[in-house]
Amino acid sequence: MKMISCFLLFFLFLSSVVAADVETEAEKILKSSVDKVFTVMLDKEMTLDQKKIKVIEITDTVFGYPLMAKLSIGKKHWSEFNTEQRAEFTKLFTDAFRRFYVDKLDLFSNEEVVFKPATVVKGKKVQIPTMLLSNGKKYSILYKMSNGKTGWRIYDITIEGVSLIHTYRSQYNHILASGKVEDLLVKMREMKEEKEGNKEL
Amino acid sequence: MQSSLLNFYTRYILNRPIIVIIVLLGVFAYLGFNAKHFRIDASADSLILENDKDYKYYRKISKTYGSHSYMFITYKPKGDIFSPETLSKLGSLRDELKKIKRVSTVLTILDVPLLRNPPVPIKELIPNIKNLEHPDVDIHLARTEIESSPIYQELLVSADMKMTALMVHFTEDAEYERVVSRRGDLRQKLSVNTITPAERTELAQLKSAYRECKIRMDKERHSDIAAVRTIMDGYRQDAELFLGGISMITDDLITFVKKDLKVFGIGIVIFLIVALGFIFRKIRWVVLPVLCCTLSVLSMIGILGIFGWEVTVISSNFISLQLIITMALTIHLIVRYRELEVENPEWSQMELVKETVFSKFVPCLYTTLTTVAGFGSLLICDILPVINFGLMMSVGLVVSLIVTFFLFPAILCLLPKNKTGEERQFCSGFTRILANITQNYAKTVFIVTGLLIVMIGVGVSRLTVENSFIDYFRKSTEIYQGLKVIDQNLGGTTPLDIILSFDEKKDVLLSNQDTEVIVQDTVSTTPLDVIVDAQKIEDVPLSNKETIAESDADFDDEFSEFDEFEEEDNSDKYWFTADKMAKIMKVHDYLDSLPEIGKVLSLGTMLKIAEQFTEGKPLDDFQLALLYTQLPDNFKDMALSPYISIPDNQARLTVRIKDSLKGLKRDDLLKQIIFDMGDKLDLQENQYHLAGMMVLYNNMLQSLFSSQILTIGFVVLALMIMFTVLFRSIKIALIAILPNVISAIAVLGVMGLAGLPLDFITITIAAISIGIAVDDTIHYIHRFKEEYEVDQNYINAMHRCHGSIGNAMYYTSLTIIAGFSILVLSYFIPTILFGLLTSLAMFIALITALTLLPRLIIVFKPFGK
């Protein structure tokens, strides 16, 4: 019995060390990105458009778009995509996500972000809970990162329990459940063109 | 065969009148006792097709989303609806209503959540939602919000803000739900032949359980409505109040039908007494027919009670009908008796009665059988209340025939002969005029007939099928005014559901206009005002230099590491995708744009409210999911549960149709909606479904209409065969059928010309008319054959027929016309129309039987040259 308790304690100790170690690297990357974004957003010299381009440059280093794109489709449908379609989808997804992110940027500017201790999931993944403080209200934001070939990258953000990848996935799955891959790509292309068209107007 | 039957009749009926009377009294007592089980059913499901797949779907939808068991009370105060006095009165009215046993909730403007009081972001609003009774509420803001609210407007307040409404919800009856659900399951098994003997027994038991449930619920509803009305009476000095809603309509229908059954049953009996007294001026000729009529009806009510056949709105006139048809039978017997009495003054009473019965039995049997054939046509359709009406009347006619041919001679045998053999023929001048017209104006008869046929043709081509509950009531009635107020100011009356299904395969190719919301990069632009130039974003390279296409093996490995997404995929909050919302919104706006549709409620209504928080921009998937997670459960129950079913992956839009709208064509409206769902809204057939009372009523009406049109041919054929058998001549059968068809179809023609639509009740008039009108023809031809044999002269035979049977036909028709005309005094419009149109059919039948029919006989000489 004692042996078992010791083993358990050792395991817990060991895992916390690992967690602390991993947390340092992943959290460092995330914190660094968040700080950079905040700095840009608080820069009074830049126009909003300039800020957004800058923010995208920063966030591109921390978002794992190809993985996010793939996860937003899911295993079931991803196999229906050929190589070209995967490439195009990833590009369109990246474009859409960037747009989503910068559109939401105002929500996060001029606020305070409190980082909480990260937890490791299955070794290669880490979840970093944060709290966004805004006008006395607290909003929970969970960053999910994974350690791939290019290092630690965000693959999902969960805000108040709602996962961004899930919201994409339910939408794409609905389209793919009733149509073909090409239909989805057509819609995404049209959407992109429309957005660009709107901007020109 | 016939002579042995007559011998039997003479031996056991005519020779033993007292025993016959005693036996009959016993039968009447038994049936009279069972009359207490007689029941009227005017509920919504009495008017729908039993085997309708839409009904099964409707039951399923009701189960998923809850049913429509509610009533409206409109409240129009003398002052402002937001004044403290009015709000206080409303509160006390609501509280009183809540105390009624089966009332579950009462929704008023006092109770609804105010979301802009004051306007704050959603996150701050949710823990601090006020209503009008909240001490810190800003009444001015509340008025503005309610006035412009997509949900409260036309639901709880009228557009002019002068009237408010209280929605009174009733608790569901668990026992009824259980019985109906189980019965549905077993019927399904029965239809596919997988039912076990035990289940078959259970199904039979459920049938009676269902009836008991319905009887109990009808009583409960009636007492609830009475209680609601009593409470309303206490507030009438402060405001104008009306009651509305489907459950009130059906309850009031029962009340009207019951009242009409009673009032017009008695009214027609009184009328018969007066009419018979006026025509025959002898007590015996009043008492005998009235006895036959009332005892026939009593027997029939007893039989209905024994078999559990319920009188519905459709069969509500059966008492009037049976009284009048029985009276027609007795008048023929009386007229024949009096003829024989005049012709054979030396005959004994027994001989007179015997000859009367013997000479009239065959034509009366045939008139009954042909009338049964008319009503029998109703059995062909698959609508239970119509089938029951057909059966009811068929059995009723046989009962009348038996009662008349047993009771009438039995009593008459016991009465002494009239002292004065000669009796005055009442108003025989009319038949003489028609005889002269037939003889001297042959061309005119045919020309008028031709014109009549043209008119009928034009009228029939203009016929429409429409059922409007509001048009069932006279404008002066409270129910009409209440329905109109609700219909026009508070969003319509008859409910219709549109169910949108989202899980069909391969439906994605929607039109380009959907794209904006379909692949919305998970976002609308809210709340940002500025979007970075799309091209600039595109130009930014992937700075982390990740390759887009990695090897398949790598991806498969990665998927197994991220199975968290597979696990959470079915979470309810992710159901709300922008494309689904766009579809709902598009259908919502489309329905809202139709002038025939009043209030539209759906998730779209809720989205419109939510858009008030996003500066009018549609919510994206992320915001929707976020909103769903933030909503308290009680809000989900109120705002989401009635409009979406996440497990079924479907959404429900509920609308109410404006029943009082002039020129509303319900069938066309439903067809238009179905067409536009595909054509305008790009939905595939399996992606939407129309349900609700509106669809069920329409299905029944259309089915009734098509089956009636189809069976008219069948009835004509059946009558042809019967005529051929009776008169043993196809030529005579062809001659006989023409006036009947004209008189029956003329009713439909007149309705078409007058713009009266066929509805649940008037649609049966054609069958009834054919059934009743045919009697005159049979009596006339039957007599003509006898009279022709006297001198083989068609003209002479015609004059003799007009002077004898013509008078009987005239009396019966006149009495029927006058009797049915009494129905115009009803407050129930279908009863009025029924009275007027049946009278019209009888009038045309009489005129054609005394002009066209003899003219055709004279022209075609079917009895020989």
Q: Tell me the per-residue pLDDT of B264-295, one tens digit each, with 9 for 90 and over.
A: 888 888 888 888 888 888 888 999 999 999 99
Q: What is the mean pLDDT of chain B?
A: 81
Give CATH superfamily name and number for A2-200: Tgt2/MlaC (3.10.450.710)
Whether A77 contacts A169, CB under 8 Å: no
Beta bridge partners of B240: B76
What pLDDT sits at residue B1? 54
Least confident of A108-117, B272-281, B400-409, B772-781: A108-117
| Cα separation, B233 vs B239, whole angstroms | 10
**Domain segments of chain A as ranges:** 2-200
| Cα separation, A159 vs B622, whole angstroms | 9
| Residue in B with minimal Cα distance to A83 | B549
Nearest CA to CA, how far is B146 from chain A (Å)? 29
**Looking at the complex, does the CB of residue B546 fall below 8 Å from at least one CB of chain A?**
yes
Amino acid at B782: H
Whether B563 contacts A143, CB under 8 Å: no
**Better-predicted residue by pLDDT, B207 or B165:** B165
What pLDDT sits at residue B216? 87
Nearest CA to CA, how far is B100 from chain A (Å)? 43
What pLDDT sits at residue B515? 35
Q: What is the mean pLDDT of chain A?
A: 77
In the predicted model, is pLDDT for residue A41 greater than 90?
A: no
**Which tens digit of pLDDT belongs to each residue from B461-489?**
888 888 777 788 888 887 888 888 888 88
Least confident of B59-68, B192-201, B441-450, B790-799: B59-68
In the predicted model, is pLDDT for residue B99 greater than 90?
A: yes
In the predicted model, is pLDDT for residue B514 greater than 50?
A: no
pLDDT bin (cut points 50, 70, 90) of residue A174 is confident
**Looking at the complex, does the CB of residue B505 fall below 8 Å from at least one CB of chain A?**
yes
In the predicted model, is pLDDT for residue B111 greater than 80?
A: yes
Amino acid at B462: R
For residue B455, how many other CB atoms are within 10 A of its CB? 15
Backbone angles phi, psi at B645, to 5 degrees: -130, 100
In the predicted model, is pLDDT for residue A102 greater than 90?
A: no
CB-based contacts of B454, cutoff 8 Å, min separation 6 = none
> A99, B506: Cβ pair inside 8 Å?
no
pLDDT bin (cut points 50, 70, 90) of residue B350 is confident
What pLDDT sits at residue A9? 32
For this complex, say whether ipTM is above 0.85.
no
What's the rounded mean pLDDT across residues B326-350? Answer: 87
**Test mutation, B537, B545, B581, B649, chain A, max A CBs within 10 A:** B537
pLDDT bin (cut points 50, 70, 90) of residue B521 is very low
Entry pTM: 0.73
What's the rounded mean pLDDT across residues A16-25? Answer: 49
In the predicted model, is pLDDT for residue B509 greater than 70?
A: no
What's the rounded mean pLDDT across residues B504-525? Answer: 38
**Looking at the complex, does the CB of residue B174 fall below 8 Å from at least one CB of chain A?**
no
| Cα separation, B693 vs B697, whole angstroms | 6
**Looking at the complex, does the CB of residue B527 fall below 8 Å from at least one CB of chain A?**
yes
Please identify among residues 463-502 of chain B the ones whose CB lies closer than 8 Å to any CB of chain A: 502
Q: Please tell me which of the candidates A78, A87, A191 has its beta carbon nearest to residue B555.
A: A78
Whether A37 contacts A54, CB under 8 Å: no
In the predicted model, is pLDDT for residue B400 greater than 80?
A: yes
What pLDDT sits at residue B522? 35
Whether B758 contacts B463, CB under 8 Å: yes
Q: Please tell me which of the candidates A100, A159, A167 has its beta carbon nearest to residue B574.
A: A167
What's the rounded mean pLDDT across residues B233-247? Answer: 88
What's the rounded mean pLDDT across residues B561-590? Answer: 80
In the predicted model, is pLDDT for residue B368 greater than 80?
A: yes
Q: With contacts defined as CB-CB under 8 Å, which chain B residues touch A97?
A: 521
**Better-predicted residue by pLDDT, B723 or B615:** B723
pLDDT bin (cut points 50, 70, 90) of residue B804 is confident
Q: Please tell me which of the candidates A65, A98, A178 has its beta carbon nearest to residue B508.
A: A178
Whether B318 contacts B38, CB under 8 Å: no
**Better-predicted residue by pLDDT, B714 or B546:** B714
**Test mutation, A103, A155, A181, A198, chain B, max B CBs within 10 A:** A103
Long-range CB contact pairs, B245-248, < 8 A, 24+: B245/B70, B245/B71, B245/B72, B245/B168, B245/B486, B246/B44, B246/B68, B246/B493, B246/B494, B246/B495, B246/B693, B247/B69, B247/B70, B247/B71, B247/B170, B247/B221, B248/B71, B248/B479
> Tokens at residue B181, please?
């659900």
